[in-house]
Amino acid sequence: MRSKLLSLATAVPEFELRTEDVIVEAQKIFGGRHDDFERMLPVYANSEIKTRYSTCSYDWFRQEQGWPERSEAFLVGASKMFAEVSTLALQRAGLEAGQVDTIVMISSTGIATPTIEARVMSELGFRDDVKRVPVFGLGCAGGVAGVSLAARLAMAQPGSNVLVVVIELCTLTFRADEISKSNIVATALFGDGAAAAVLSTTGKNAHGEIEFMGEHTWPDTVDIMGWRMDPQGFGAIFSRSIPELTLRNLRPAADGFLAGNNLSFADIGAYSFHPGGAKVIAALEMAFTLEAGKLANERKILAGFGNMSAPTVLFVLEQGLTENFSGRRFISALGPGFTAGFITMLQ
């Protein structure tokens, strides 16, 4: 018995951030405060990102924002995104909100207690006895980890419907007060987005079945990626060693995951990776010896949406599901820990 992916939906907020406009805004915000900003400016042009999306307008970023302002923006923006993307995922699965038995909520870019699903579930029509599983801190690995968790919960209660919603409002963490390389990379790379999926052991017209799931966490890597906290809000921890780590360490971990399930990459016909950035995509191609064009979906999503953290790999998967493919797909994302998440999916 396996969990089936009954539906997958994605959404972005209303404000479009074109890279050429972001460069102008960044020069206004950082240029007058930090003398060495011009030296870091090429990060924007070299990102290979054309557009991203934000829950707030440029006017919001031009003002000083602390924890209260960022938290309020997160509550409003994430609640709106939850309603939009969960409604679409349920429609595609042919289900009503009242038929959902468990909600898994994944996010790492804002803190909410009560959590987002609790704030909106009644008005969206979810039952008052629906089980809630909010998860914080998975970062970019959250999309894969969230689907894995939802698949396990669906198998634990055969016939139940599990909704997983992944929302990251990365732009709310942008810091005008900080000129660190991590912050500049974050403002050049990250955007906002949401994805939702419905999983169950029953149902028709599924996209495929979740076959195997796994994770690998490397020791002594907690400083590779994550957040630090201070009075202004989250501060990005974003190591320049991520592409190197991807190139050197991801493939052996993925080989170990597959071998543990009596598989190898000879059994894989399609891929959906989290495109952390242009250098990460290049490292993935080298690590997995993929021919040119194999990660076209990853490049397309990065160019059109930037790195949205956890939902990004599900945007890539959504693209892959539109293709005429039948076989085994390998899905993976890297996130804080430093951790890799793995899924094999039969289509």
Q: Which residues are catalytic?
A: 140
Asked if 75 and 112 count as a contact pair (C-beta separation under 8 A), the reply is yes
Asked if 248 and 338 count as a contact pair (C-beta separation under 8 A), the reply is no
Who contacts 35 (Cβ-Cβ below 8 Å, separation ≥6)?
none
What is the Cα–Cα distance from 214 to 278, expressed in whole angstroms? 25
Per-residue tokens: 139: 């970062």
* Bridge partners for 67 per DSSP: none
Cis before residue 114, ω within 30 degrees of 0? yes
Distances, alpha carbon 70 to alpha carbons 60, 73, 177, 212, 272, in Å:
10, 5, 14, 38, 32
Residue 229 half-sphere exposure, CB side, CA atoms within 13 Å? 6
The 8-class DSSP code of residue 55 comes to S
- The string of DSSP letters for 135-195 reads EES-GGGHHHHHHHHHHHHHHHSTT--EEEEEEEEGGGG--TT---HHHHHHHHHB-EEEE
Who contacts 156 (Cβ-Cβ below 8 Å, separation ≥6)?
none
